[in-house]
Amino acid sequence: MTISTHKLTNKNGMEITVTNVGCAIIKLELPTKDGKLDVVQGLDCAEDYATKAHPFFGVVAGRVANRIGNATFALSGKTYTLEKNDGPHHLHGGSQGFDKKAWNVQEVTDNKIVFEHNSPDGESGYPGNLDARITYTLNDENTLRIDYHATTDTETVCNLTNHSYFNLNGYDDPFIYDHLVEIFADKITPIDSGLIPTGEFMPVAGTAFDFTSQKPIIQDMDEAAAVANTGGYDHNYVLRGPGKAASAWAPKTGVRMTVSTNSPGIQLYTGNMLTGEVSGKGVTYDKHTGFCMETQFFPDCVNKPHWPSCVVKKGTPQESYTEFKFEF
């Protein structure tokens, strides 16, 4: 495995360090008035992403991010069986998903990098030879844009997302409880005890899942955890449409992050499964010390034909984007 590390910069002094292992974002440093502030959790170095077990810090998850119920799906009349790496279910492409691969670096400049990976037919149980391309671009408005592009030689499924864990107080801050969050969605896809969506939409109004107005992330977290037995938030929100998807603001530092996308959903995950067993950058990562906002097709959509489809057909590329804009 050839491992490389690259740094993107803009004219304001914002810096993003990435590795080709899983396209992981190792550092995302903001030039605040109090000095450089790294707002993503992660490991010490690129080599660690290849050798250490970790909870998907900063990586691109795929072929299919999130969960596929019972690790099976049907496509064109054929049933495919995947690895069961999350109880009876399939999670984030399996134990050898895209996060474990050394992607090829096709282009790199001061503010842009392009990664490519060929996933052969049958890899992790998926059909079709899939060519994936991930482009990270950092502009002078302090926005990191991620472009996802996938093509296949035969019908398959694909759902790519970035799995960065953010703490806008700094990666080493012990909690995210003070963060104020807003999500531009009126519904979630409710889940069963295995965190698999039931196939329904549930209005968030009047529930613990309502972030239609900005509120502290901790305000209703215990209620949400009790409802879904998740230890916090781990839910897919049905976005109103392309454009602005969510925002988070940390009063302590004044840092605001706004997420935009053309994907139909976004997963709010509050680091419920961080157990203190993983460390990096000189700290140990405990429960609720970071949060994720993963833009995506809805979890298990391949088994929900009435939902937006993550099926990729020969001759028709699948394309999506996500933007993380930072103000400080």
Backbone angles phi, psi at 51, to 5 degrees: -120, -20
β-strand pairing of 255-261 with 243-250 = antiparallel
Which residues have CB under 8 Å from 77's CB, separation 6+?
Answer: none
3-class secondary structure, 142 = coil
In angstroms, rounded to a whole number, what is the distance separating the alpha carbons of residues 77 and 204?
36
Identify whether the C-beta of residue 27 lies closer than 8 Å to the C-beta of residue 17.
Answer: yes
Largest CA distance in the chain: 58
Peptide bond into 67 cis (omega under 30): no
In angstroms, rounded to a whole number, what is the distance separating the alpha carbons of residues 10 and 30?
11
The catalytic residue among 6, 163, 179, 235 is: 163
Active site residue 15: no
**Can you name the residues that pair with 284 across neighbouring β-strands?**
279
Identify whether the C-beta of residue 287 lies closer than 8 Å to the C-beta of residue 177.
Answer: no
Residue 89 CA to chain centroid, in angstroms?
Answer: 18
Provide the sign of the torsion angle of the four alpha carbons 85, 324, 242, 109, taken in this order: negative
The catalytic residue among 29, 123, 294, 323 is: 294
3-class secondary structure, 226 = helix
C-alpha dist (Å) from residue 167 to 102, 219, 248, 290, 292: 26, 17, 10, 5, 9
Residue 68 CA to chain centroid, in angstroms?
Answer: 16
Amino acid letter for position 299: P
Active site residue 306: no
Which residues have CB under 8 Å from 195's CB, separation 6+?
Answer: 67, 86, 89, 228, 230, 234, 299
In angstroms, rounded to a whole number, what is the distance separating the alpha carbons of residues 213 and 232?
19
Active site residues: 163, 294
